Amino acid sequence: MEAGDSADKPPSERFAVLGERDTTLADDRVRAVVPQTRVRLTGDAAKLSVLFDKLDGRRSSAPRIAETFYDTADARLWRHGFSLRLRRKGRSRELALRSQGHSAIHLQEWTAAIDGQAVDLALLPPETPRTDIGVVLPEELRPRFSSEVKKTRKRIRLDGAEMEVSLCVGRLKSGKRESPVNELEFVLIDGDVAVMLAQIKTLLRRRRMTLEARSRAARGTELAEDTPPAWVKAAKPALEPTDSLGDAMAKIIAVTAKQITGNIAASADGRDPEGVHQLRVALRRLRSAFSLFKGHLAD
């Protein structure tokens, strides 16, 4: 759900994005992560592997990443648009709080290296937005679901951008329920995001794959609650009197595209017919936007 749909439901995290590079603060165990753009494609595991093998670049394998996601009994963090996870890579452990960023393809994350299994928001960096969450005591936090993912990476240089592509294979688990993770991840390392998105668009034309608009936190929450994927209502574009025509077009089309991608999973799942309805609404809105601006699209 969009944050504006209901005060009791969290914003669905669309294209998952986070920074791979970090900036170390005075305490080298606490890091503020620099956001970067990340887009995920999902599909048949064998076909994703074949596609990954055909991409240029040298393969490198990372340690298997295991994450346990925590929240309060009343899902206070998730309802405020946050996810909290204890991440294990090899022998290292890291506590991470993640929040949706300024667009559909950005996230913000605050992390801290920790010892043992301690899960406490007080361990995170000083700039962590605690006032947006409220008071959450360590004893209130409990595990909700977990993920285990193996990543194989390639660094790819394009004309105008450099990106990292990862083949991600694993699973989400909540009690006896499980869901596979089969994804191809694209992370912009440097350069123009439009160049990376054009490359992804080319791959989507050639291969039968789907944009994965939900984060693993969103998918894990659905698994833990045994609910269908959330559908997404239209958001109102934040237009300003000073916006140029191009700015207004970009904002209107962006919120419409966000509604389209946000309803793909709900429509494919089929348990809640509202997902199909909202997808139809989004497509009608997009056609209306193109009709409204058709005389200016070449400008």
SS (H, E, C) 58-93: CEEECCCEEEEEEECCCCHHHHCCEEEEEEEECCEE
Residues 257, 167 within the same domain:
no
- Domain span at residue 288? 233-299
Residues 53, 147 within the same domain:
yes
Q: What is the pLDDT of residue 220?
A: 94
Domain boundary among 197, 227, 257: 227
CA distance 41 to 169: 12
Residues 105, 188 within the same domain:
yes
Choice between 205 and 196, residue whose per-residue pLDDT is larger: 196
What pLDDT, in 10s, does the model give residues 207-264?
A: 778 888 888 899 999 999 999 998 999 889 999 999 999 899 989 988 998 899 889 9
The CATH number linked to 59 is 2.40.320.10
Domain boundary among 176, 211, 227: 227
Domain boundary among 170, 202, 227: 227
Identify whether 209 is part of a domain: yes
Identify whether 4 is part of a domain: no
Measure Cα distances from 274 to 66, 201, 208, 281 in Å. 34, 27, 25, 10
Residues 41, 151 within the same domain:
yes
Question: Which residues, in sequence order, are CB contacts of 170 under 8 Å at separation 6+?
Answer: 64, 147, 148, 149, 150, 180, 181
Q: What is the pLDDT of residue 31?
A: 57
Domains in the chain: how many in total?
Answer: 2
pTM score, whole prediction: 0.78
Residues 72, 210 within the same domain:
yes
Residues 145, 263 within the same domain:
no
Residue 26 has pLDDT above 90, yes or no: no
Identify whether 156 is part of a domain: yes
Q: What is the pLDDT of residue 35?
A: 59
What pLDDT, in 10s, does the model give residues 48-85?
A: 999 899 888 888 877 789 999 999 999 999 999 899 99
